[in-house]
Chain A
Amino acid sequence: MIMKWLTFEYRRRLLCLWMLCAVISLSTQDAYQKKIDKYHEIWTSLIPKYVKLQYAGSMGFLSFGTGWDYGKNNQWETDVFLGFIPRYSTDDFKITFTLKQNFIPWKVRLNPSFSLDPLACGIYMNTVFGEDFWISEAERYPSGYYSFSTKLRMNVFLGQRITYNIPASKRYSANAITFFYEISTNELYLISRIQNRYLTPKDYLGLSLGLKIQFF
Protein backbone atom coordinates (compact mmCIF):
# COMPACT_ATOMS: atom_id res chain seq x y z
CA MET A 1 0.00 0.00 0.00
CA ILE A 2 2.70 2.35 0.99
CA MET A 3 4.65 1.30 -2.04
CA LYS A 4 1.72 2.04 -4.31
CA TRP A 5 1.19 5.50 -2.79
CA LEU A 6 4.84 6.26 -3.14
CA THR A 7 4.81 5.21 -6.71
CA PHE A 8 1.74 7.27 -7.41
CA GLU A 9 3.16 10.24 -5.57
CA TYR A 10 6.45 9.74 -7.34
CA ARG A 11 4.77 9.59 -10.71
CA ARG A 12 2.77 12.72 -9.98
CA ARG A 13 5.90 14.57 -8.97
CA LEU A 14 7.75 13.44 -12.03
CA LEU A 15 4.89 14.59 -14.20
CA CYS A 16 4.85 17.97 -12.48
CA LEU A 17 8.57 18.32 -12.87
CA TRP A 18 8.38 17.38 -16.53
CA MET A 19 5.61 19.88 -17.18
CA LEU A 20 7.56 22.57 -15.38
CA CYS A 21 10.64 21.84 -17.42
CA ALA A 22 8.60 21.88 -20.63
CA VAL A 23 7.07 25.26 -19.79
CA ILE A 24 10.45 26.71 -18.85
CA SER A 25 12.14 25.31 -21.91
CA LEU A 26 9.33 26.55 -24.16
CA SER A 27 9.51 30.04 -22.72
CA THR A 28 13.28 30.11 -22.87
CA GLN A 29 13.15 28.90 -26.45
CA ASP A 30 10.71 31.68 -27.20
CA ALA A 31 12.89 34.32 -25.49
CA TYR A 32 15.94 32.95 -27.22
CA GLN A 33 14.30 33.18 -30.61
CA LYS A 34 13.17 36.70 -29.88
CA LYS A 35 16.66 37.66 -28.87
CA ILE A 36 18.15 36.14 -31.99
CA ASP A 37 15.56 37.88 -34.13
CA LYS A 38 16.31 41.16 -32.43
CA TYR A 39 20.03 40.55 -32.95
CA HIS A 40 19.46 39.91 -36.66
CA GLU A 41 17.23 42.92 -36.89
CA ILE A 42 19.86 45.21 -35.36
CA TRP A 43 22.60 44.00 -37.66
CA THR A 44 20.28 44.03 -40.68
CA SER A 45 19.38 47.65 -39.99
CA LEU A 46 23.10 48.43 -40.11
CA ILE A 47 23.44 47.22 -43.68
CA PRO A 48 24.06 50.36 -45.74
CA LYS A 49 21.13 51.13 -48.00
CA TYR A 50 22.99 52.99 -50.70
CA VAL A 51 26.39 54.09 -51.95
CA LYS A 52 27.39 57.59 -52.98
CA LEU A 53 30.04 59.09 -55.18
CA GLN A 54 30.77 62.76 -54.71
CA TYR A 55 32.94 65.06 -56.77
CA ALA A 56 34.44 68.06 -54.89
CA GLY A 57 32.67 69.57 -51.86
CA SER A 58 35.68 70.24 -49.59
CA MET A 59 36.00 66.53 -48.85
CA GLY A 60 38.30 65.45 -51.64
CA PHE A 61 38.60 65.43 -55.39
CA LEU A 62 36.43 62.30 -55.34
CA SER A 63 34.79 60.75 -52.30
CA PHE A 64 33.26 57.30 -51.98
CA GLY A 65 30.60 56.85 -49.37
CA THR A 66 27.79 54.76 -48.05
CA GLY A 67 25.02 55.34 -45.58
CA TRP A 68 21.54 54.92 -44.23
CA ASP A 69 18.24 56.66 -44.80
CA TYR A 70 15.58 56.69 -42.13
CA GLY A 71 12.58 58.62 -40.85
CA LYS A 72 8.93 58.54 -41.83
CA ASN A 73 9.65 59.45 -45.47
CA ASN A 74 13.32 58.60 -45.42
CA GLN A 75 13.88 62.31 -45.05
CA TRP A 76 17.07 61.76 -43.04
CA GLU A 77 20.31 60.35 -44.37
CA THR A 78 23.59 59.75 -42.61
CA ASP A 79 26.66 59.11 -44.78
CA VAL A 80 30.29 58.27 -44.26
CA PHE A 81 32.84 59.03 -46.98
CA LEU A 82 36.46 58.39 -47.73
CA GLY A 83 37.88 61.00 -50.06
CA PHE A 84 41.20 61.57 -51.72
CA ILE A 85 43.04 64.72 -52.78
CA PRO A 86 45.84 64.55 -55.35
CA ARG A 87 49.08 66.32 -54.40
CA TYR A 88 48.67 69.37 -56.61
CA SER A 89 51.28 71.88 -55.36
CA THR A 90 51.84 70.23 -51.99
CA ASP A 91 54.21 67.47 -50.90
CA ASP A 92 51.64 64.77 -50.18
CA PHE A 93 48.57 63.05 -51.53
CA LYS A 94 45.87 63.23 -48.86
CA ILE A 95 43.03 61.04 -47.61
CA THR A 96 39.99 62.50 -45.88
CA PHE A 97 37.09 61.09 -43.89
CA THR A 98 33.65 62.69 -43.77
CA LEU A 99 30.58 62.20 -41.58
CA LYS A 100 27.58 63.78 -43.22
CA GLN A 101 24.01 64.41 -42.09
CA ASN A 102 21.43 65.14 -44.79
CA PHE A 103 17.87 66.41 -44.45
CA ILE A 104 15.55 66.12 -47.44
CA PRO A 105 12.20 67.60 -46.37
CA TRP A 106 10.16 67.24 -49.59
CA LYS A 107 9.88 64.89 -52.49
CA VAL A 108 8.08 65.89 -55.70
CA ARG A 109 7.04 63.06 -58.03
CA LEU A 110 7.45 64.28 -61.58
CA ASN A 111 6.24 61.08 -63.28
CA PRO A 112 6.45 57.36 -62.44
CA SER A 113 10.15 57.31 -63.27
CA PHE A 114 11.44 60.59 -61.93
CA SER A 115 11.14 62.44 -58.68
CA LEU A 116 12.75 65.63 -57.48
CA ASP A 117 13.98 66.79 -54.09
CA PRO A 118 13.67 70.58 -54.28
CA LEU A 119 15.84 70.94 -51.19
CA ALA A 120 18.53 68.83 -49.60
CA CYS A 121 20.53 70.39 -46.82
CA GLY A 122 22.72 69.44 -43.93
CA ILE A 123 26.08 69.57 -42.26
CA TYR A 124 29.22 67.51 -42.52
CA MET A 125 32.43 67.18 -40.65
CA ASN A 126 35.58 66.48 -42.58
CA THR A 127 38.90 65.36 -41.23
CA VAL A 128 42.08 65.18 -43.28
CA PHE A 129 44.85 62.72 -42.47
CA GLY A 130 48.50 63.70 -42.42
CA GLU A 131 51.08 64.97 -39.97
CA ASP A 132 50.65 68.57 -41.16
CA PHE A 133 47.19 68.67 -39.63
CA TRP A 134 46.26 68.76 -35.97
CA ILE A 135 43.08 68.75 -33.90
CA SER A 136 44.56 71.07 -31.31
CA GLU A 137 47.92 72.77 -31.50
CA ALA A 138 51.05 70.98 -30.34
CA GLU A 139 52.32 71.38 -26.79
CA ARG A 140 55.21 73.57 -27.87
CA TYR A 141 52.84 76.49 -28.45
CA PRO A 142 51.66 78.76 -25.64
CA SER A 143 48.09 77.68 -24.84
CA GLY A 144 45.47 79.15 -27.18
CA TYR A 145 48.12 80.28 -29.65
CA TYR A 146 46.07 79.14 -32.65
CA SER A 147 42.50 78.72 -31.54
CA PHE A 148 41.31 76.43 -34.33
CA SER A 149 41.97 73.00 -35.79
CA THR A 150 43.61 72.48 -39.16
CA LYS A 151 42.37 68.88 -39.21
CA LEU A 152 38.62 69.28 -38.60
CA ARG A 153 36.30 71.34 -40.77
CA MET A 154 32.57 71.82 -40.28
CA ASN A 155 30.71 72.34 -43.53
CA VAL A 156 27.12 73.31 -44.31
CA PHE A 157 25.40 72.70 -47.63
CA LEU A 158 22.25 73.31 -49.65
CA GLY A 159 21.39 71.40 -52.76
CA GLN A 160 18.86 69.67 -54.97
CA ARG A 161 18.41 66.15 -56.27
CA ILE A 162 16.73 64.31 -59.09
CA THR A 163 15.98 60.60 -58.79
CA TYR A 164 15.35 57.98 -61.46
CA ASN A 165 13.33 55.11 -60.04
CA ILE A 166 14.39 52.02 -61.94
CA PRO A 167 11.35 49.96 -63.02
CA ALA A 168 11.21 46.58 -61.23
CA SER A 169 11.76 44.69 -64.51
CA LYS A 170 14.96 46.57 -65.26
CA ARG A 171 16.57 46.40 -61.85
CA TYR A 172 19.97 44.85 -61.65
CA SER A 173 21.32 45.72 -58.21
CA ALA A 174 19.79 49.10 -57.53
CA ASN A 175 16.23 50.39 -57.37
CA ALA A 176 16.99 54.07 -57.86
CA ILE A 177 19.75 56.40 -59.02
CA THR A 178 19.92 59.97 -57.75
CA PHE A 179 21.95 62.81 -59.16
CA PHE A 180 22.61 65.68 -56.80
CA TYR A 181 24.46 68.93 -56.61
CA GLU A 182 25.33 70.91 -53.51
CA ILE A 183 26.68 74.32 -52.62
CA SER A 184 28.74 74.27 -49.48
CA THR A 185 31.06 76.29 -47.32
CA ASN A 186 32.96 75.81 -44.08
CA GLU A 187 33.32 77.75 -40.86
CA LEU A 188 36.70 79.31 -41.77
CA TYR A 189 35.43 80.62 -45.12
CA LEU A 190 32.34 81.97 -43.37
CA ILE A 191 34.37 83.82 -40.73
CA SER A 192 36.51 85.28 -43.52
CA ARG A 193 33.40 86.34 -45.43
CA ILE A 194 31.72 87.90 -42.40
CA GLN A 195 34.75 90.11 -41.81
CA ASN A 196 35.38 91.02 -45.45
CA ARG A 197 32.95 92.45 -47.94
CA TYR A 198 35.66 91.85 -50.52
CA LEU A 199 34.90 88.12 -50.64
CA THR A 200 32.15 87.17 -53.06
CA PRO A 201 30.12 83.93 -53.21
CA LYS A 202 32.49 82.45 -55.77
CA ASP A 203 35.29 82.84 -53.21
CA TYR A 204 33.70 81.18 -50.21
CA LEU A 205 31.09 78.84 -51.74
CA GLY A 206 31.95 75.60 -53.46
CA LEU A 207 29.95 73.46 -55.82
CA SER A 208 29.92 69.68 -55.76
CA LEU A 209 28.20 66.98 -57.79
CA GLY A 210 27.27 63.48 -56.80
CA LEU A 211 25.51 60.22 -57.51
CA LYS A 212 23.58 58.05 -55.09
CA ILE A 213 22.81 54.45 -55.94
CA GLN A 214 20.01 53.10 -53.78
CA PHE A 215 20.11 49.34 -53.19
CA PHE A 216 16.90 48.97 -51.16
Chain B
Amino acid sequence: MKKNAQFMFVIFLLLFSGCDLFEYHPYDGRIKGERNINYKNILRIEEACRDKDTIRFLFMGDTQRCYDETVDFVTAANRRTDIDFIIHGGDVADFGLTKEFLWTCDILEKLYAPYVVLLGNHDCLANGEEIFRQIFGDENFAFQAGDVKFVCLNTNALEYDYSRPIPDFHFMEEQYRDSTAHRRTIFVMHVRPYSEQFNNNVAYVFQEFIKRFPQLMFCLNAHDHRLSVDDLFEDGVMYYGTPNIEKRQYLTFTLTPNSYDYEVVDF
Protein backbone atom coordinates (compact mmCIF):
# COMPACT_ATOMS: atom_id res chain seq x y z
CA MET B 1 0.00 0.00 0.00
CA LYS B 2 2.73 2.43 1.01
CA LYS B 3 4.85 1.58 -2.01
CA ASN B 4 1.82 1.83 -4.25
CA ALA B 5 0.94 5.21 -2.85
CA GLN B 6 4.50 6.46 -3.29
CA PHE B 7 4.55 5.16 -6.84
CA MET B 8 1.20 6.80 -7.65
CA PHE B 9 2.44 10.11 -6.33
CA VAL B 10 5.54 10.05 -8.51
CA ILE B 11 3.50 9.04 -11.56
CA PHE B 12 1.05 11.88 -11.03
CA LEU B 13 3.86 14.39 -10.64
CA LEU B 14 5.59 13.17 -13.79
CA LEU B 15 2.34 13.31 -15.74
CA PHE B 16 1.89 16.95 -15.02
CA SER B 17 5.42 18.26 -14.79
CA GLY B 18 6.92 19.84 -17.83
CA CYS B 19 3.60 20.91 -19.32
CA ASP B 20 2.57 24.51 -19.18
CA LEU B 21 -0.54 23.64 -17.27
CA PHE B 22 -0.42 26.26 -14.55
CA GLU B 23 -3.56 28.35 -14.63
CA TYR B 24 -3.25 31.67 -12.79
CA HIS B 25 -6.75 32.94 -13.38
CA PRO B 26 -9.42 32.70 -16.10
CA TYR B 27 -9.07 36.46 -16.61
CA ASP B 28 -5.30 36.68 -16.08
CA GLY B 29 -4.58 38.03 -19.57
CA ARG B 30 -1.51 35.81 -20.06
CA ILE B 31 -1.18 35.69 -23.82
CA LYS B 32 1.03 33.27 -25.65
CA GLY B 33 1.39 33.21 -29.38
CA GLU B 34 0.80 35.72 -32.09
CA ARG B 35 -0.23 39.35 -31.55
CA ASN B 36 -1.45 42.11 -33.82
CA ILE B 37 -3.04 39.55 -36.10
CA ASN B 38 -5.34 42.00 -37.93
CA TYR B 39 -2.47 44.31 -38.77
CA LYS B 40 -0.28 41.51 -40.14
CA ASN B 41 -3.12 40.00 -42.15
CA ILE B 42 -4.21 43.37 -43.57
CA LEU B 43 -0.72 43.73 -45.07
CA ARG B 44 -1.18 40.31 -46.69
CA ILE B 45 -4.69 41.13 -47.95
CA GLU B 46 -3.73 44.49 -49.42
CA GLU B 47 -0.66 43.04 -51.08
CA ALA B 48 -2.48 40.04 -52.55
CA CYS B 49 -5.52 42.02 -53.78
CA ARG B 50 -3.68 45.07 -55.10
CA ASP B 51 -4.34 44.60 -58.81
CA LYS B 52 -7.27 42.25 -58.65
CA ASP B 53 -10.56 43.23 -60.22
CA THR B 54 -12.54 40.32 -58.78
CA ILE B 55 -12.33 39.78 -55.06
CA ARG B 56 -13.86 36.91 -53.15
CA PHE B 57 -14.09 36.79 -49.36
CA LEU B 58 -15.88 34.79 -46.69
CA PHE B 59 -17.84 36.42 -43.92
CA MET B 60 -18.61 34.46 -40.73
CA GLY B 61 -18.85 35.22 -37.05
CA ASP B 62 -20.02 34.47 -33.52
CA THR B 63 -17.68 31.54 -33.00
CA GLN B 64 -18.13 31.88 -29.25
CA ARG B 65 -18.06 28.54 -27.39
CA CYS B 66 -18.24 26.63 -30.72
CA TYR B 67 -14.73 25.30 -31.17
CA ASP B 68 -15.80 22.10 -32.94
CA GLU B 69 -17.74 24.06 -35.57
CA THR B 70 -14.91 26.60 -35.94
CA VAL B 71 -12.45 23.77 -36.62
CA ASP B 72 -14.82 22.45 -39.29
CA PHE B 73 -15.13 25.93 -40.77
CA VAL B 74 -11.34 26.21 -41.06
CA THR B 75 -11.21 22.82 -42.78
CA ALA B 76 -13.99 23.88 -45.17
CA ALA B 77 -12.37 27.26 -45.90
CA ASN B 78 -8.96 25.66 -46.48
CA ARG B 79 -10.48 23.37 -49.09
CA ARG B 80 -11.31 26.43 -51.18
CA THR B 81 -8.63 27.92 -53.35
CA ASP B 82 -10.78 30.74 -54.72
CA ILE B 83 -10.89 33.06 -51.70
CA ASP B 84 -8.78 36.12 -51.02
CA PHE B 85 -9.53 36.63 -47.35
CA ILE B 86 -11.94 35.95 -44.48
CA ILE B 87 -13.74 38.36 -42.14
CA HIS B 88 -14.78 37.21 -38.67
CA GLY B 89 -17.69 39.41 -37.56
CA GLY B 90 -16.83 39.28 -33.85
CA ASP B 91 -17.66 37.34 -30.66
CA VAL B 92 -14.53 35.26 -30.50
CA ALA B 93 -15.10 34.72 -26.78
CA ASP B 94 -18.32 33.94 -24.98
CA PHE B 95 -17.34 34.78 -21.39
CA GLY B 96 -14.39 37.07 -22.15
CA LEU B 97 -11.96 34.49 -20.72
CA THR B 98 -8.34 34.84 -21.80
CA LYS B 99 -8.21 31.20 -22.86
CA GLU B 100 -11.26 31.56 -25.11
CA PHE B 101 -9.27 34.01 -27.23
CA LEU B 102 -6.23 31.73 -27.27
CA TRP B 103 -8.23 28.61 -28.13
CA THR B 104 -9.95 30.39 -31.02
CA CYS B 105 -6.66 31.86 -32.26
CA ASP B 106 -5.10 28.40 -32.29
CA ILE B 107 -7.90 27.29 -34.60
CA LEU B 108 -8.01 30.37 -36.85
CA GLU B 109 -4.26 30.51 -37.38
CA LYS B 110 -4.60 27.30 -39.38
CA LEU B 111 -6.50 29.22 -42.05
CA TYR B 112 -4.54 29.49 -45.29
CA ALA B 113 -6.28 32.72 -46.28
CA PRO B 114 -5.55 35.89 -44.30
CA TYR B 115 -8.32 36.88 -41.91
CA VAL B 116 -9.37 39.85 -39.81
CA VAL B 117 -11.50 39.77 -36.66
CA LEU B 118 -13.96 42.40 -35.43
CA LEU B 119 -14.70 43.16 -31.79
CA GLY B 120 -17.97 41.58 -30.63
CA ASN B 121 -19.94 42.48 -27.54
CA HIS B 122 -18.95 39.23 -25.79
CA ASP B 123 -15.30 40.04 -26.50
CA CYS B 124 -15.73 43.13 -24.31
CA LEU B 125 -16.74 41.15 -21.20
CA ALA B 126 -14.50 41.54 -18.14
CA ASN B 127 -11.06 42.50 -19.51
CA GLY B 128 -11.73 40.84 -22.87
CA GLU B 129 -11.27 44.01 -24.85
CA GLU B 130 -7.75 44.41 -23.46
CA ILE B 131 -6.95 40.89 -24.64
CA PHE B 132 -8.60 41.51 -28.03
CA ARG B 133 -6.54 44.66 -28.52
CA GLN B 134 -3.30 42.74 -27.89
CA ILE B 135 -4.11 39.73 -30.03
CA PHE B 136 -6.00 41.29 -32.94
CA GLY B 137 -5.43 45.03 -32.72
CA ASP B 138 -7.57 48.17 -32.68
CA GLU B 139 -11.34 47.98 -32.30
CA ASN B 140 -11.77 50.17 -35.41
CA PHE B 141 -9.70 49.47 -38.50
CA ALA B 142 -9.87 49.70 -42.25
CA PHE B 143 -8.16 48.04 -45.16
CA GLN B 144 -8.32 48.08 -48.90
CA ALA B 145 -8.77 45.08 -51.18
CA GLY B 146 -8.49 46.06 -54.84
CA ASP B 147 -10.50 49.24 -55.21
CA VAL B 148 -12.77 48.49 -52.23
CA LYS B 149 -12.23 49.91 -48.79
CA PHE B 150 -13.48 47.83 -45.87
CA VAL B 151 -14.26 49.96 -42.82
CA CYS B 152 -14.55 47.72 -39.75
CA LEU B 153 -16.17 49.30 -36.71
CA ASN B 154 -16.81 48.63 -33.06
CA THR B 155 -20.56 49.20 -32.74
CA ASN B 156 -21.06 47.62 -29.29
CA ALA B 157 -22.20 50.84 -27.62
CA LEU B 158 -24.13 49.14 -24.81
CA GLU B 159 -20.92 47.53 -23.50
CA TYR B 160 -19.49 50.95 -22.73
CA ASP B 161 -22.64 52.48 -21.27
CA TYR B 162 -22.33 55.16 -23.96
CA SER B 163 -19.25 56.46 -22.14
CA ARG B 164 -17.11 56.10 -25.26
CA PRO B 165 -17.98 57.35 -28.73
CA ILE B 166 -19.27 54.18 -30.36
CA PRO B 167 -19.53 54.10 -33.31
CA ASP B 168 -16.48 56.35 -33.43
CA PHE B 169 -17.38 59.14 -35.84
CA HIS B 170 -13.91 60.60 -35.46
CA PHE B 171 -12.41 57.42 -36.87
CA MET B 172 -15.06 57.33 -39.61
CA GLU B 173 -14.30 60.93 -40.51
CA GLU B 174 -10.59 60.08 -40.84
CA GLN B 175 -11.52 57.24 -43.16
CA TYR B 176 -13.81 59.53 -45.09
CA ARG B 177 -11.06 62.09 -45.62
CA ASP B 178 -8.73 59.31 -46.70
CA SER B 179 -11.00 58.33 -49.59
CA THR B 180 -8.70 58.93 -52.51
CA ALA B 181 -7.34 55.45 -53.15
CA HIS B 182 -10.57 53.47 -53.27
CA ARG B 183 -13.54 53.57 -55.57
CA ARG B 184 -16.03 51.63 -53.44
CA THR B 185 -16.74 51.08 -49.75
CA ILE B 186 -18.07 48.27 -47.55
CA PHE B 187 -18.85 48.73 -43.86
CA VAL B 188 -18.41 45.82 -41.48
CA MET B 189 -19.67 45.78 -37.89
CA HIS B 190 -20.58 43.26 -35.23
CA VAL B 191 -23.90 44.87 -34.39
CA ARG B 192 -26.07 46.60 -36.97
CA PRO B 193 -28.16 49.74 -36.34
CA TYR B 194 -31.37 49.32 -34.34
CA SER B 195 -29.93 46.35 -32.47
CA GLU B 196 -30.12 46.60 -28.65
CA GLN B 197 -26.32 47.04 -28.63
CA PHE B 198 -26.18 49.88 -31.15
CA ASN B 199 -26.25 53.53 -30.13
CA ASN B 200 -29.63 54.02 -31.76
CA ASN B 201 -29.68 57.71 -31.01
CA VAL B 202 -27.29 58.05 -33.93
CA ALA B 203 -28.53 55.16 -36.10
CA TYR B 204 -29.95 57.44 -38.79
CA VAL B 205 -27.02 59.87 -38.63
CA PHE B 206 -24.68 56.91 -38.93
CA GLN B 207 -26.50 55.69 -42.01
CA GLU B 208 -26.48 59.13 -43.61
CA PHE B 209 -22.75 59.48 -42.95
CA ILE B 210 -21.70 56.10 -44.34
CA LYS B 211 -23.68 56.85 -47.51
CA ARG B 212 -21.31 59.73 -48.18
CA PHE B 213 -18.39 57.33 -48.64
CA PRO B 214 -17.41 56.52 -52.23
CA GLN B 215 -19.99 54.13 -53.68
CA LEU B 216 -21.20 52.38 -50.55
CA MET B 217 -21.86 48.80 -51.71
CA PHE B 218 -23.41 47.19 -48.62
CA CYS B 219 -22.92 46.57 -44.90
CA LEU B 220 -22.07 43.38 -43.05
CA ASN B 221 -22.97 42.41 -39.53
CA ALA B 222 -22.88 39.41 -37.19
CA HIS B 223 -24.39 39.22 -33.66
CA ASP B 224 -27.96 38.18 -34.54
CA HIS B 225 -26.97 34.52 -34.99
CA ARG B 226 -29.17 34.20 -38.07
CA LEU B 227 -28.98 34.91 -41.75
CA SER B 228 -30.48 38.29 -42.56
CA VAL B 229 -30.69 40.25 -45.79
CA ASP B 230 -32.33 43.60 -45.15
CA ASP B 231 -32.65 46.99 -46.70
CA LEU B 232 -32.58 48.26 -43.13
CA PHE B 233 -33.24 51.96 -43.78
CA GLU B 234 -35.22 51.41 -46.98
CA ASP B 235 -32.68 53.49 -48.83
CA GLY B 236 -31.17 50.74 -50.96
CA VAL B 237 -28.21 50.00 -48.65
CA MET B 238 -28.28 46.30 -47.89
CA TYR B 239 -27.26 44.84 -44.53
CA TYR B 240 -26.15 41.22 -44.70
CA GLY B 241 -26.11 39.37 -41.39
CA THR B 242 -24.15 36.14 -41.11
CA PRO B 243 -25.46 33.13 -39.18
CA ASN B 244 -23.34 32.19 -36.16
CA ILE B 245 -20.79 29.45 -36.75
CA GLU B 246 -22.92 26.96 -34.77
CA LYS B 247 -25.37 26.92 -37.69
CA ARG B 248 -22.48 25.68 -39.85
CA GLN B 249 -23.00 28.41 -42.41
CA TYR B 250 -21.00 31.30 -43.76
CA LEU B 251 -21.43 33.87 -46.52
CA THR B 252 -19.28 34.13 -49.63
CA PHE B 253 -19.10 37.51 -51.35
CA THR B 254 -17.74 37.99 -54.83
CA LEU B 255 -16.97 41.56 -55.82
CA THR B 256 -16.71 42.19 -59.54
CA PRO B 257 -15.74 45.57 -61.04
CA ASN B 258 -19.32 46.78 -61.35
CA SER B 259 -21.34 44.47 -59.16
CA TYR B 260 -21.26 41.89 -56.42
CA ASP B 261 -22.82 38.59 -55.60
CA TYR B 262 -23.29 36.62 -52.39
CA GLU B 263 -23.95 33.05 -51.49
CA VAL B 264 -24.90 31.25 -48.28
CA VAL B 265 -22.66 28.22 -47.87
CA ASP B 266 -23.30 25.24 -45.59
CA PHE B 267 -20.32 23.30 -44.31
Q: Are A146 and B125 in contact (CB under 8 A)?
A: yes
A-B contact pairs, 20 of them (CB 8 A): A58-B24, A58-B26, A60-B25, A61-B28, A87-B29, A88-B29, A88-B31, A89-B130, A90-B27, A110-B6, A118-B8, A128-B27, A138-B161, A160-B8, A186-B26, A188-B26, A189-B99, A192-B67, A192-B100, A195-B65
Q: Are B29 and A198 in contact (CB under 8 A)?
A: no
Cα A148 to Cα B27 with chains together (Å): 14
Interface string of A170-213 (1 = CB under 8 A from B): 00000000000101101011011001111100110111100000
Given contact pairs A108-B1, A133-B27, A207 touches B21 in the complex (Cβ within 8 A) = yes
Cα A17 to Cα B126 with chains together (Å): 74
Distance to closest chain B CB from A214 (angstroms): 19
Interface size class of B (residues with CB under 8 A): 35 or more
Interface residues, chain A, CB within 8 Å of chain B?
Answer: 55-61, 83, 85, 87-92, 94, 96, 108-110, 116, 118, 126, 128, 130, 132-133, 138, 140-142, 146, 148, 150, 153, 160, 162, 181, 183-184, 186, 188-189, 191-192, 195-199, 202-203, 205-208
Cα A116 to Cα B2 with chains together (Å): 9
Chain B residues whose C-beta falls within 8 Å of the C-beta of A91 in the assembled complex: 127, 130
Cα A58 to Cα B65 with chains together (Å): 20
Q: Are B103 and A199 in contact (CB under 8 A)?
A: yes
Cα A48 to Cα B12 with chains together (Å): 30
Cα A140 to Cα B24 with chains together (Å): 31
Chain B residues whose C-beta falls within 8 Å of the C-beta of A142 in the assembled complex: 196
Cα A61 to Cα B28 with chains together (Å): 9
Cα A184 to Cα B1 with chains together (Å): 26
Contact of B29 among A56, A90, A133 (CB under 8 A): A90
Cα A90 to Cα B29 with chains together (Å): 6
Chain B residues whose C-beta falls within 8 Å of the C-beta of A56 in the assembled complex: 22-24
Decide yes or no whether B19 CB sits under 8 A from chain A: yes
Interface centre among B22, B134, B196 (most CB of A within 10 A): B22
Chain A residues whose C-beta falls within 8 Å of the C-beta of B107 in the assembled complex: 198
Distance to closest chain B CB from A156 (angstroms): 13
Cα A194 to Cα B151 with chains together (Å): 37
Decide yes or no whether B181 CB sits under 8 A from chain A: no
Q: Are B27 and A150 in contact (CB under 8 A)?
A: yes
Interface string of B166-207 (1 = CB under 8 A from A): 000000000000000000000000000000100000000000
Q: Are B158 and A206 in contact (CB under 8 A)?
A: no
Q: Are B24 and A150 in contact (CB under 8 A)?
A: no
Distance to closest chain B CB from A200 (angstroms): 10
- Which residues of B137-174 are within 8 A (CB) of A? 158, 161
Q: Are A57 and B131 in contact (CB under 8 A)?
A: no
